[in-house]
Structure 1
Amino acid sequence: MKGTSSMTDERLPLYQRLRDDMLSKISAGEWTPGGAIPTEAELTKHYGVAVGTLRKAVDTLVQDGLMKRSQGRGTFILRPNFEGSLFRFFRQVDARGDRRIPISRILDRQLESPARYVADALELAPLEKVIRLERIRQIDGVTLLHEDIWLPASCFEALMQIDTDDFGNLLYPFYEAQCGQLIGSARETLTVETADQKLADILEIDTEQPVVMIERLAFGYDRTPLEYRRSRGPADTFRYQVDIT
Structure 2
Amino acid sequence: MLDTSFDALPAGGARRRNEMERSGDGQSGSGRGAAGGAVGFRPLYRQVYDTLLKRLADAVWQPGQILPSEGQLAAELGVSQGTVRKALDALTADSLLVRRQGRGTFVADHDDKQSVFRFFKLRPDGEGTGMPTSRVTAIAEAAASADERGRLDLARAARVVRIERVRLIDARLCVSETISVPAALFPGIAELALPNTLYSLYATRFGITIATANERLKAVALGPREAGLLEVAVGTPALEIDRVAVDLEERPVEWRLSTCLTQDVHYLSVLR
TM-score by length of 1: 0.74
C-alpha deviations, 1:65-86, integer Å up to 9, x for none?
3224456654333335353356
Structure 2 residue 151 is matched with structure 1 residue 136: no
CA–CA separation in structure 1 for the residues paired with 2:33 and 2:147: 39
Alignment match, 2:96: 66
Q: How high is the sequence identity, in percent, across the aligned residues? A: 29
Shift of the alpha carbon at 1:46? Answer: 3.2
- Does the Cα contact within 8 Å between 1:146 and 1:232 map onto a contact in 2? yes
Aligned ranges 1:3-18 → 2 under 5 Å = 4=35, 15-18=45-48
CA contact (8 A) 2:125 2:265 kept: no
Q: Distance in 2 between matches of 1:53 and 1:126?
A: 45
Conserved in 1, the CA contact under 8 Å of 2:217 and 2:239?
yes
The equivalent position to 2:61 in structure 1, one of 18, 24, 31, is: 31
- 1:152 maps to 182
Q: Secondary structure at the match of 1:83?
A: helix
- 1:83 is aligned to 2:116: yes
Match of 2:77 in 1: 47
Question: In structure 2, how many angstroms separate the alpha carbons of the residues matched to 1:226 and 1:66?
Answer: 17
For residues 176 and 147 of structure 1, what CA distance do their matches in structure 2 show? 21
The aligned counterpart of 2:226 is 199
**Gapped regions of structure 1 (runs ≥ 5):** none
Contact kept in structure 1, 2:140 and 2:163, CA below 8 Å:
yes
CA distance 1:220–1:11, change in 2 (3 Å):
farther
- Measured against aligned partners, the alpha-carbon deviations of 1:75-120 in whole angstroms (never above 9, x if no partner) come to 3333353533566525499xxx754755422222222233344333
Structure 1 residues 149-188: aligned runs within 5 Å: 149-162=179-192, 166-188=193-215
Once residues 14 and 118 of structure 1 are traced to their aligned partners in structure 2, the CA distance between those partners, rounded to angstroms, is: 39
> Which amino acid letter does the alignment assign opposite residue 149 of structure 1?
I
**1:202 shift after superposition:** 1.8
| Counterpart residue type for residue 240 of structure 2 | M
8 Å contact from structure 2 (residues 209, 247) kept in 1:
yes
Cα distance, 1:180 vs structure 2: 3.5
What SS is found at the alignment partner of 2:181? strand
Distance 1:121 1:49, change over 3 A: farther
Displacement of 1:197 after TM fit?
A: 1.9
Q: Distance between the aligned counterparts of 2:155 and 2:138, measured in 1?
A: 25
**Larger deviation: 62-71 or 151-160?**
62-71
**Are 2:216 and 1:218 equivalent residues in the alignment?**
no
Q: Structure 1 pair 152/15, CA: closer, same or farther in 2 (3 Å)?
A: farther
CA distance change for structure 1 residues 242 and 101 in 2, over 3 Å: closer, same or farther? closer
In structure 2, stretches of 5+ residues that fail to align are 1-31
Partner of 1:20: 50
CA offset at residue 212 of structure 1?
0.6
Counterpart CA distance in 1 for 2:171 and 2:107 is 36
Q: Does the aligned pair in 2 maintain the 1:79–1:184 contact within 8 Å?
A: no
C-alpha deviations, 1:105-145, integer Å up to 9, x for none?
22222222333443333333443321111111247985321
The answer to whether residue 262 in structure 2 is matched with residue 235 in structure 1 is yes
Q: What is the alpha-carbon root mean square deviation over aligned residues?
A: 3.7
> What secondary structure, in the 3-state scheme, does the structure 1 residue paired with 2:210 have?
coil
Change (3 A) 1:239 1:142: closer
**Aligned equivalents of 1:124 and 1:44: distance in 2?**
40
